[in-house]
Amino acid sequence: MDPRFREDDKIMDFLLTEEHLMIQKMARDFAQKEVAPFSMELDEKSEFPSRHLKKMAELGFMGMMIPTQWGGSGLDMISYVLALEEISAACASTGVTMSVNNSLYCGPISRFGNEGQKKKHLIPFASGEKLGAYCLSEPGTGSDAANQSTTAKFNGSHYVLNGTKNFITSGPHADAMVVFAMTDKAKKHRGISAFIVEKGSKGFSVGKIEKKLGIRASSTSSIILDNCEVPKENILGKEGEGFSIAMNTLDYGRIGIATQALGISRAAFEASVKYAKEREAFGQSISNFQAIQWMIADMATRIEASRLLIYKAAFLKDKNLPASKEASMAKLFASETSNFVTNKAVQIHGGYGYCREYPVERYLRDARITEIYEGTSEIQRLVIARHSLKD
Ligand code: CAA
């Protein structure tokens, strides 16, 4: 048994606080009234959800866990996952845009940045005035993140970065990004450093914009660093600390993607229950058939299990306890659940589920990425197995 929980099995208060419930309600009202009605259109046009981000900034959703002195809302991670589930249930593309800004950009700057960096590169992002991104993957480096090809050389006055970053969420719209690059290749992962790179820096450009299967309203591109000049004060942490910063950041990010997957699952489930009650076949509602009921039961159970894994991982983070394994478990289970649930949702809807008139085909397309980005399901299993064998 996990030694952290041996003494007491009351590890979690399952009751959300009044404040949590208020945040959840505020997010749900906003998401259902102002985000959901446009999701289909944004998906069709592959249109970035800028219109929602402004309002989400006003609601304090773009830097939820960042202290108020640094432009954020100063809330806990449970509040964040509650809000993110609501946004993702309404629009998974808006969900990932929110998640990346909160956990992949603002998160590492708030934990590893110095005062000057926080003033300049955190306040406007946590308040939602600007948007951030995270550049780890490269054309030849996805799962094997330690094997970075991008280099950073200090030339006496600033760092010069060279390389291409791939599949960067919000890449074309981001005002700044946390970028990982090798400052000392001989040291392998201990030679990786993290930098804050601003759009408009000399040698920085946005590369190919991807056309995607799902989350089409989020924007994804490569980022080209061609002798890109980065001021020396923009190094995040010390030289060589980059890989550890990247991994620490992904512990939070994976809880975010698990939550995005949960939101997609919930939306698909709710649509399926509604449809099953309305649709008639053989002279009665299809919800009377056990074939449908069993699908609904399996969907409901896996969604609830996903939610509990996410809450547990977020709860541990809020208590400043290690949660890499739990974050990976939440991400693995919630993302596989979203693929299971959205598939069943299409099945319940039959031919209508395959057509764009109903939202479930979008949910199925949107769910697919949750098993890939911020660590594939295979990488999550690797992390879980390593921790389990070590425990
Ligand atoms: N927190 C802090 N440090 C950590 C850590 C964590 N969670 N996990 C590992 N580390 C440290 C280790 O302690 C070790 O440090 P030292 O050697 O200095 O002691 C170091 O990192 C190396 O650890 P490993 O030996 O475990 O490294 P590895 O090379 O075997 O890789 C891996 C581990 C889990 C496979 C990792 O490479 C990984 O997570 N890969 C997937 C990458 C990924 O998720 N990419 C997603 C891109 S971002 C994205 O998708 C964003 C988006 O736009 C939505």
pLDDT attached to residue 12: 61
Distances from the Cα of 53 to the Cα of 93, 162, 173, 330, 385, angstroms: 11, 31, 12, 26, 38
Low pLDDT (below 50) residues in the chain: 1, 5-10
146 lines ligand 1 (CB under 6 A): yes
Choice from 244, 245, 376, 380 to test ligand 1 binding pocket (greatest atom count within 8 A of CB)? 244
Residue 79 Ramachandran class (φ > 0 left, ψ -120 to 50 alpha, else beta)? alpha
Query: Could you tell me the two tokens for 166?
Result: 């791939």
Question: What is the CA(350)–ligand 1 centre distance, in A?
Answer: 41
pLDDT attached to residue 198: 98
Distance of CA 88 to the CA centre of its chain: 10
Place of tokens 């809880």: 255
Nearest atom in ligand 1 to the alpha carbon of residue 133 is 53
Residue by residue, DSSP assigns 233-248 as GGEESSTT-HHHHHHH
174 lines ligand 1 (CB under 6 A): no
pLDDT attached to residue 15: 79
pLDDT attached to residue 11: 54
Nearest atom in ligand 1 to the alpha carbon of residue 250 is 44
- 190-230 residue pLDDT tens: 999 999 999 999 999 999 999 999 999 999 999 999 999 99
Which domains are present in the chain?
18-126 (1.10.540.10), 132-243 (2.40.110.10), 247-390 (1.20.140.10)
pLDDT attached to residue 10: 47
- 156-170 residue pLDDT tens: 999 999 999 999 999
Active site residue 374: yes
Specify the residue with its C-alpha closest to ligand 1, atom 46.
374
Question: What is the CA(180)–ligand 1 centre distance, in A?
Answer: 12
Task: Determine contact, residues 324/382, Cβ cutoff 8 Å.
Answer: no
326 lines ligand 1 (CB under 6 A): no
